[in-house]
Amino acid sequence: MALVKAGVVVLDCAEPETLAEFYKGLLDAEETATTANLIEIRGADGTRLAFRRDANATPPSWPRPENSLQAHLDFLVDDLDEAERVIVGLGGRPLEARVTSGPLEERGYADPSGHSFTLRRTTSTAPKQG
């Protein structure tokens, strides 16, 4: 039995309410805990994220070197284009375009508070036809 179990990823931000709404929409999540300075959500797949109020939060500047990548999240999707439309509709923005294609195709984004995350296309587990 593990002594320590994975808990929840916590992102510091100036406005946890805004960030919680963004990730609730992205992950089809529900709020599981709320205080004056912290909101926790659980995604439909069980992913747990929390957003902690920090009035002095400085968003990462990645890919620029100052305040560079502090941490980032990776999400798996079947359709990158559809996921991008949802992200932009929720207030996120693309960080870079990757021209690569194939099973390792990925794209970088920032949430409304500037935290970076990556979408990676899932590889099909269905047997090849024909």
* Amino acid (one-letter) located at 105: E
Q: What's the burial of 4, exposed, middle or buried (CB within 10 Å: 0-12/13-18/19+)?
A: exposed
- Name the DSSP class of 81: H
Residue 108: enclosing H or E segment and its boundaries? strand 106-110
CA atoms within 13 A on the CB side of 37: 5
Rounded Cα gap, residues 24 and 18, in angstroms: 10
pLDDT for the residue numbered 55? 87
Residue 19: enclosing H or E segment and its boundaries? helix 16-27
Q: Are 28 and 44 in contact (CB under 8 A)?
A: yes
Q: Are 27 and 41 in contact (CB under 8 A)?
A: yes
31-70 tens-digit pLDDT? 999 999 999 999 999 999 999 999 888 877 666 666 555 6
pLDDT for the residue numbered 88? 95
Taking the mean position of all CA atoms in its chain, how far away is CA 31?
A: 16
Record: fold of 9-54+69-121? 2,3-Dihydroxybiphenyl 1,2-Dioxygenase; domain 1 (3.10.180)
pLDDT for the residue numbered 73? 80
pTM: predicted TM-score of the whole model, two decimal places: 0.72
- The domain ranges of the chain are 9-54+69-121
* Amino acid (one-letter) located at 39: I
